[in-house]
Amino acid sequence: MWGGSLFFAACMAFQFFLAGSPQVGLGHLTLQVLVYLGALLYVFSKSAKFSLFKPAEEMTDSSD
């Protein structure tokens, strides 16, 4: 939740402050870093879900 909130806040800050700036290089670099960080956040959240939560859910499933 914290990572997603920080990512969303960073994307909104980029949109409002850097997207229309005359410094084209800074805007593109910032956007590229945000995309990579978002991808890493997504990969880590899915890996945590499938390695921790899914097995715990299957262990507690009582549909024998």
* 30 within 8 A of 18, measured Cβ to Cβ: yes
pLDDT (average), residues 1-13? 80
pLDDT in tens, 8-45: 888 788 777 766 666 666 667 777 888 888 888 889 88
Residue 4 makes CB contacts below 8 A (sequence gap 6+) with: 41, 45
Taking residue 60's Cβ as centre, other Cβ atoms within 10 Å add up to: 7
Question: Taking the complete model, does pTM exceed 0.85, yes or no?
Answer: no
Predicted pLDDT at 63:
60
- Give yes or no for a contact between 18 and 26, defined as CB atoms under 8 angstroms apart: yes
The three-state secondary structure class of 62 is coil
